[in-house]
Amino acid sequence: MSYDTSTAVKGRVIVPCLLLASLTFPFSNALAGDATIHPDRDRAALARIQKVPLGLPAVPYPEDNPPSELKIRVGRKLFYDRRLSHDNTISCAMCHVPEQGFTVNETTTAVGAQGKTLRRNAPTLLNVAFAGSLFHDGRETTLETQVISPLLAPDEMAIPSIGFLVEKIRRLDDYEKLFQLAFDRGVSIEGVGAAIASYERTLVAANSPFDRWHYGNEPDALTPEQKEGFYLFVDKAKCLNCHVINEDFALFTDNGFHDTGVGWKRSMEKAAPGRTVRVELAPGVFTSISREAIESAGIPEQDDRGRYEVTLDPSDRWRFKTPTLRNIALTAPYMHDGSLSTLRDVVIFYDRGGFPHENLDPVIQPLHLTDDEIDALVAFLRSLTGDNIRELVEDARSARIGNPENPPAEISD
């Protein structure tokens, strides 16, 4: 059967980098492994690409960058290495924390170089191999080129130039041999992109209770409430308009762009004189501060017009990419700005019809769900968590990376 249908503070307040590291880069000794790189991890990671978990299609990759164990090893090392940032404090994993669904749970939006608050929520990298476009505005189309943007962004990893990055990595004595082994050449920006993309393609997570029920013919894999939530998902709640389920697999996204009203509402609030700003002091703890006080302590909040910033088409104002719903229970907070804290908040938001305005996507309308139906939908969404999340976390923490406090890892041919 086919169901396919057509930050903590928004003024860029500076956070001490040591505090940032303690908040967004948890490290468990139980998951760390020892100081050497384990070839068995590389083989298992490659196997995830070659045979995906139940519920996913085959992993796509470009002809000029087929996956290999060595590429995955280099990419994993680069992904967790804070030396890739200008001041050696920020790694890719600081915004895509393995233990937090490969995103960040503590803040509404990501935090970058020197503690600067970014304007968007960090999207999960789970199943990013299947993304039709990348970033909330879809400005990149391949994993190989996607990494360049955060590396060079002044508020993210703050590397001054591509040449600077390549030379910096070349000077790290634990990389040149790995690049020679993986690519038969020394460090290059193409190799950096290819390696990180190869690692990110291994982050496939499925075989969820939903998959075992829907694709694996296990009638008891879902609870009665979760089954009710599924039927609401495909019918009354109209979730399939944007979160697609196919006959043989489900990515739970149309890879399209939609205006739900979230971006529009934030822009209207920003333009309103004398308004206060909702500030997250700690997870789930909020207060209100005047905009004048916020801007006195940091850089004023940037406007965010979504897909329009890529296409310059006025009809694309405040449209943002449809996220996958796979593993959604792990990746709070939600929406491109992290403005909704829980799955129940998200369902209630759509039940109310988003934030109505002239350009609101026509598929978003009030749903008139009961409280029990909202609970059932949330229960169904929680059934979309893959059964191999711990494996991905253990893989992520399987070797010391070579950050300043750690000695370089051993290299095995």
Q: CATH classification of 17-205+388-396, choosing from 1.10.760.10, 3.90.1300.10, 1.10.260.40, 1.10.287.1260?
A: 1.10.760.10
Would you state the pLDDT for residue 286? 78
What are 171-203's pLDDT values in tens digits? 987 899 999 999 999 999 999 999 999 999 999
Instruction: Please indicate, yes or no, whether the overall pTM of this predicted structure exceeds 0.75.
Output: yes
Q: Detail the DSSP E strand segments found in 228-363.
A: 257-258, 276-282, 285-290, 320-321
pLDDT at 46 over 90: yes
Angle between helices 69-79 and 176-183 (to 10 degrees): 150
What are 258-311's pLDDT values in tens digits? 999 999 998 887 656 566 767 767 777 778 777 666 555 555 567 899 999 999
Task: Please list the residues that pair with 257 across neighbouring strands.
Answer: 321
42 contacts 333 by C-beta, under 8 angstroms: no
Would you state the pLDDT for residue 30? 29
Cβ neighbours for 263, distance < 8 A, ≥ 6 positions apart: 304, 305, 306, 317, 318, 319, 320, 336, 337
Give mean pLDDT, residues 129-137. Answer: 96
Would you state the pLDDT for residue 216? 97
Among the residue ranges 200-214, 277-291, 339-353, the one predicted with the least confidence is 277-291
106 contacts 23 by C-beta, under 8 angstroms: yes
Q: How far is the C-alpha of 70 from the C-alpha of 396, rounded, in Å?
A: 15
Cβ neighbours for 152, distance < 8 A, ≥ 6 positions apart: 159, 160, 161, 162, 165
pLDDT at 59 over 80: yes
Would you state the pLDDT for residue 299? 53
Would you state the pLDDT for residue 412? 45
Between the two ends of the chain, the Cα-to-Cα distance in Å is: 47
Distances (CA, A) of 203 to 44, 76, 100, 146, 389: 11, 11, 13, 16, 9
pLDDT at 253 over 50: yes
